[in-house]
Structures are given as structure tokens and as C-alpha cells.
């Protein structure tokens, strides 16, 4: 994992406003945030506080309405949709709450899909996908379809897909939300293992057990990052 950029992610004054039928909604307001390479950051907050909006901007699925976003030294807040897609393919790995595997593709095909979009050749894709699946313990399920796997297995495939391209950062949105506690713990252990190996992780979670595993927690409320003292008040 490259450590040359410090911080790896820098958000300054990031605001995201949605306009719907003359109503202006501030999903994020003047967010300043830095994440260092190799850091494990947990994002938490009540429902509707802007967690997913923040993750979408960090993952370049969305652009801020105001403010700047620098990823690995490169300003990315004003990139076009095509340029964002290219950066996403190279630098971001996603793990979703609903696994979001593609039902028509096999386990192997799901894992190698982002590598295709990155433009890697067949041999490279094969090696990287095999390595990722071996890491999550599902190499023996290469040719299965998602519907043939349990929920826990599907999320492990999703993790393999996220790490196969060795992205700069892995963004996980409630990765245990659809799992029972045993499978949830197994997935979080897997993410912790990845972090131990040097991966940069940003995990949205509600579960206090997993908040504690993170090196740092960011609490969002009404689209703003809330300082620790105020957070305690809000929670109380």
C-alpha cells in the first residue's frame, strides 16, 4: 500500500446539497476530514446524518457541491463522470451492506469485474482474483453463483472483490448490516486482518463493538462532523 501521500484523503469544506422540488437539503455541511494511508476509520451517526453521502463522495460516486477533495495528492472534486470512474476503478474498493454481487456472474467473475474495468489482462485478473478469494477462504467456490452462497459467504466475496485490485482505500457501508452476529464478526475480522496488512479502511457502522476496533471514529450529525464532547451530549 503506498504511503507516499500524507494524508491519503483530504476533504476541506465539503458540502453536498440536494435539490428536490424547490427544497434544498444539506446532506453534508463544510466537512473537513483527513485520513492517512493505512488508517482504519469508523464513521457513525444516526440515520440520515450523511454517512452514505460522505461515503459516496469519498468513493467518487458523487461530487461535492462545494469544497475540495484531494485523493492521493490529486484533486478529484471537479473530475468528470468518466474521470471519476477511472479513479474509482484504480483506487477505491467498495463493500456494501447488501453485498451487491451480480447475480448473473459467478464468484470468480464478480471478483475480477473491477479488474476488467481497470483494463488488466486476463492473466493478471486471474492471479489477482485467485489471491483475493484465497484470502477470504472461498477459492473453492470460484464457479458458484451468488444465489448458491450463504449471506456470510456473499459478503466475503464482496470483500474479495473490493481488495482484489489493491485499492488505495476500502470503503465499507454497514458491511455487517445484513448478516447474523457470527457472520458479521467473521467479516469484520477479515477487514481487521486487511487493515493489519496495511489497507486503509473507512467503515460506516452502528455497532459499538466494531467502532472500538477502528483507530478513529468520526461522528456525523445533521451533515456535520461533531466533536467528541458534543457527540456525547447528542448521544445522551
Partner 1 sequence: MDTLLRDLRFAVRQLRRTPAFAVAAIGCLALGIGANTAIFSAVDGVLLRPLPFPESERLVTVWGYHASIGRESASLPDFLDWRRDSRSFTGMTARANTQFNLTGAGEPEVVRGALVTANYFQVLGSPIPLGRGFRDDEERRGAARVAVLSHGFWRREFGGSADAVGRQIMLGGVPYTIVGVGARGLSVPREVDVWTPLTTDTTLGRRNDFLEVVGRLAPGVDMSQAREELGTVARRLEQEYPGSNSGWGVDLVGLQERIVGEIRPALLVFMGAVGLVLLIACANVANLMLARVAAREREVTIRAALGASRRRLLRQLLTESVVLSLAGGALGLGLAVWGVRALQALEPGTIPRVDEIAVNGSALAFALGLSVLTGLLFGVAPAVRLMGYDLRGGLAEGGRGAAGRRSAGRTRSLLVLAEVALAGVLLVGAALLLTSFVRLQRVDPGFTPGGILTARVTLPRARYDDPARQTAFADALLERARSLPGVRSAALTSDAPLGDGPPYWAFAVAGVEPPPPEVVQDAVVFRTTPDYFRTFAIPLVDGRLYQTSDRGDAAPVALVSEALARRYWPDRTPLGARITFGDPADSTSVWMTVVGVVGDVRQEGPAAAAYPQIYVPLAQVSGRSLLIALRTSGDPLALTPALKRAIAGIDPSLAVGRVATMDERVAGALARPRVNALLLGGFAVTALVLAALGIYGVIAYGVAQRTRELGIRMALGARSDDVLRLVLRQGMAPVLAGLALGLGGAAVGSRVLRGLLFGVGGTDPVTYAGVAGFLAAVALLASYLPARRAALADPVAALRND
121 interacts with partner 1 by CB under 8 A = no
Interface residue with partner 1 among 14, 42, 76, 96 (CB under 8 A) is 96
Can you tell me the distance from the alpha carbon of 12 to that of 33, in angstroms, rounded to the nearest whole number?
Answer: 7
What is the nearest approach in angstroms of partner 1 to the Cβ of residue 7?
A: 23
Interface residue with partner 1 among 15, 100, 130, 234 (CB under 8 A) is 100
What is the nearest approach in angstroms of partner 1 to the Cβ of residue 96?
A: 7
Count the site residues for partner 1 by CB under 8 A: 34
223 interacts with partner 1 by CB under 8 A = no
Interface residue with partner 1 among 135, 141, 161, 195 (CB under 8 A) is 161
176 interacts with partner 1 by CB under 8 A = no
86 interacts with partner 1 by CB under 8 A = yes
Interface residue with partner 1 among 89, 168, 202, 203 (CB under 8 A) is 89
Can you tell me the distance from the alpha carbon of 5 to that of 145, in angstroms, rounded to the nearest whole number?
Answer: 38
Residues 6+ apart with CB under 8 A from 139: 130, 133
Q: Based on the number of CB atoms within 10 Å of its own CB, is 121 exposed (0-12), middle (13-18) or buried (19 or more)?
A: exposed
b/e per residue, 133-165, with b = 16+ CB within 10 A? bebbebbebeeebbeebeebbbbbbbbbbbbbb
Interface residue with partner 1 among 82, 182, 228, 233 (CB under 8 A) is 82
Can you tell me the distance from the alpha carbon of 236 to that of 230, in angstroms, rounded to the nearest whole number?
Answer: 10
128 touches 112 (CB < 8 A): yes
180 interacts with partner 1 by CB under 8 A = no
Interface residue with partner 1 among 99, 108, 210, 219 (CB under 8 A) is 99
Cα 98 to the center of its chain, rounded Å:
13
Interface residue with partner 1 among 114, 175, 184, 223 (CB under 8 A) is 114
Q: CB under 8 Å, gap of 24 or more: what pairs does 123-127 form?
A: none
What is the nearest approach in angstroms of partner 1 to the Cβ of residue 214?
A: 22
What is the nearest approach in angstroms of partner 1 to the Cβ of residue 37?
A: 20
Interface residue with partner 1 among 50, 64, 67, 146 (CB under 8 A) is 146
Can you tell me the distance from the alpha carbon of 213 to that of 191, in angstroms, rounded to the nearest whole number?
Answer: 10
Can you tell me the distance from the alpha carbon of 54 to that of 220, in angstroms, rounded to the nearest whole number?
Answer: 9
Give the sheet arrangement for strand 23-35, strand by strand. Answer: 23-35, 9-20, 66-71, 74-75
What is the nearest approach in angstroms of partner 1 to the Cβ of residue 67?
A: 17
Question: Which residues are near partner 1 by CB under 8 A?
Answer: 56, 59, 61-62, 81-82, 85-86, 88-90, 92, 94, 96, 98-104, 113-114, 117-118, 145-147, 151, 154-155, 158, 161, 178
Amino acid at each position: 500500500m503506498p504511503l507516499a501521500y500524507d494524508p491519503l484523503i483530504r476533504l476541506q469544506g465539503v458540502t453536498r446539497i440536494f435539490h428536490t422540488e424547490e427544497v434544498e437539503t444539506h446532506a453534508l455541511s463544510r466537512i473537513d476530514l483527513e485520513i492517512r494511508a493505512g488508517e482504519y476509520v469508523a464513521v457513525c451517526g444516526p440515520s440520515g446524518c450523511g454517512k452514505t453521502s460522505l461515503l459516496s463522495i469519498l468513493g467518487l460516486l458523487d461530487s461535492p457541491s462545494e469544497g475540495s477533495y484531494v485523493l492521493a495528492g490529486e484533486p478529484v472534486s471537479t473530475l468528470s463522470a468518466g474521470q471519476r470512474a477511472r479513479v474509482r476503478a484504480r483506487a477505491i474498493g467498495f463493500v456494501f451492506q447488501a453485498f451487491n454481487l451480480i447475480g448473473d456472474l459467478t464468484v470468480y467473475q464478480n471478483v475480477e469485474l473491477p479488474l476488467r474495468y481497470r483494463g488488466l489482462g486476463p492473466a493478471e485478473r486471474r492471479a489477482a482474483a485467485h489471491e483475493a478469494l484465497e484470502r477470504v477462504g472461498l477459492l473453492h467456490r470460484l464457479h458458484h453463483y451468488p444465489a448458491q452462497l450463504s449471506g456470510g459467504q456473499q459478503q466475503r466475496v464482496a470483500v474479495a472483490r473490493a481488495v482484489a485490485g489493491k485499492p488505495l482505500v476500502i470503503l465499507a457501508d454497514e458491511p455487517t448490516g445484513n448478516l447474523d452476529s457470527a457472520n458479521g464478526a467473521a467479516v469484520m475480522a477479515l477487514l481487521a486482518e486487511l487493515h493489519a496488512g496495511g489497507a486503509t479502511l473507512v467503515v460506516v457502522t452502528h455497532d459499538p463493538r466494531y467502532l472500538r476496533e477502528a483507530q478513529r471514529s468520526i461522528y456525523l450529525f445533521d451533515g456535520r462532523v461533531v466533536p467528541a464532547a458534543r457527540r456525547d451530549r447528542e448521544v445522551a
